[in-house]
Amino acid sequence: MIVDGRVFIIAEAGVNHNGDVNLAKKLIDVAVESKVDAVKFQTWKTELLMTTDLESANYQKKSSNGTFNTQYEMAKGLELTFDNFRDLKLYCDSKDILFMSTPDEEVSAIFLNEIQDIFKIGSGEVNNIPFLRLIGSFRKKVILSTGMSTLRQISNALEALISSGTSREDITILQANSQYPTPMKDINLRAMHTIQNAFDIDVGLSDHTIGIEVPIAAVAMGAKVIEKHFTLDKDLSGPDHLTSLNPVELKSMVQCIRNIEEAFGSGHKLITSSEQENISAFRKSIVAKVDIQKGETFTIDSLAVKRSAKGVSPEEWDNVIGSISTKQYKKDEVIDACLMEK
């Protein structure tokens, strides 16, 4: 488990800094204002990550308006230096928010091991066994996204992490879909339960849908970790801005999640302090349906149940029926438990 007692919320800045460290710091400020638990970036050396002729994904082409000819060119323009990330880590520390970054290749993973305590592994690495073994050898908390993955591949990834030194208890698996934005019909929240049951492990959601309702639903279904992209402005150029939350939406999502957590309650079915004052206004008592004489036997024809601020609870109905009235009652007068006898 990443944290005890509440959902761990990651604000995914990702590459929405557009290669500008000052923009990255503004994203950190938004994350702090939104009261998330961590703000996360992505770290890579482009020449170690991909070939120079790798074509961009369709969503990257659409959101970048054809600015880049290849994915290599796009990634190079978004790349921050290791010194930039050291600077961002210090900035996060000064703002009292947890810094995280996802490594996309091994050199960056080794670097990040020096400055962070939780590793988030992206969906693209689920089948990268050597990389997973490296992360596992760090013996730190790990969050694994599982877009484009099967249960068999997730099982293999877990084996690589655990056999390399990471404790199962320190791993959380996120249901994810790697389309941006993810169609609602493909988000498959129930897969969280499938993963949880298959591996007896904490689960969560890395969400790429539009809006905030899906992560809120995931929390209601038991997610322990929520990751969601955010941006300063959806109109900025770049691959992920259009499918990210703006600052207002991010803050709203966090508040909704915290509200849902509070609404879970203890599970014990008790009368709460907030509803106690309404008992007298809404609960009913046994009253005289007609005028009743002293010495008369209470029957179903002489009694009724109506809202009343006091009187005998209808839970005692069977005990009242057949007993003798020791006083006279007018219609609608509440029956006094002390003034009847068997």
What is the third-level CATH fold of 273-341?
Type Iii Antifreeze Protein Isoform Hplc 12 (3.90.1210)
What is d(CA 12, CA 231) in angstroms, rounded to the nearest whole number?
A: 9
Q: What is the pLDDT of residue 326?
A: 93
- Residue ranges of the chain with per-residue pLDDT less than 50: none
The full set of domain ranges for the chain reads 8-264, 273-341
Tokens 């219609």 correspond to what residue? 331
What is d(CA 127, CA 223) in angstroms, rounded to the nearest whole number?
A: 23
What is the third-level CATH fold of 8-264?
TIM Barrel (3.20.20)
Contact predicate 91/101, CB 8 Å: no
Provide the token pair at 236: 């900025």
Q: What share of the chain is helix, strand, coil (3-state, %, to 5)?
A: 40, 20, 40
Q: What is the pLDDT of residue 339?
A: 62
Q: pLDDT digits over 106-154, tens only?
A: 999 999 999 999 999 999 999 999 999 999 999 999 999 999 999 999 9
What is d(CA 158, CA 132) in angstroms, rounded to the nearest whole number?
A: 9
Q: What is the pLDDT of residue 63?
A: 59
Map residue 89 onto helix, strand or coil: helix
Question: What is the crossing angle of helices 151-163 and 191-199, to 10°?
Answer: 40
Q: What is the pLDDT of residue 57?
A: 64
Q: How many C-beta neighbours within 10 Å does residue 8 have?
A: 23
What is d(CA 32, CA 48) in angstroms, rounded to the nearest whole number?
A: 32
Contact predicate 162/137, CB 8 Å: no
Tokens 């046994």 correspond to what residue? 286
State the pTM of this model. 0.89
Query: Which residues make Cβ contacts (< 8 Å) with residue 103, sequence separation at least 6?
Result: 43, 44, 109, 111, 112, 119, 135
Contact predicate 116/94, CB 8 Å: no
- Cα 13 to Cα 97, 146, 211, 228, 295, distances in angstroms: 13, 19, 16, 9, 80
Dmax of the chain from CA atoms? 101
Q: pLDDT digits over 312-328, tens only?
A: 999 999 999 999 999 99
The secondary structure of 19-73 as a DSSP string is T-HHHHHHHHHHHHHHT-SEEEEEE--HHHHS-TTPPPPHHHHHHTTT--SSHHH
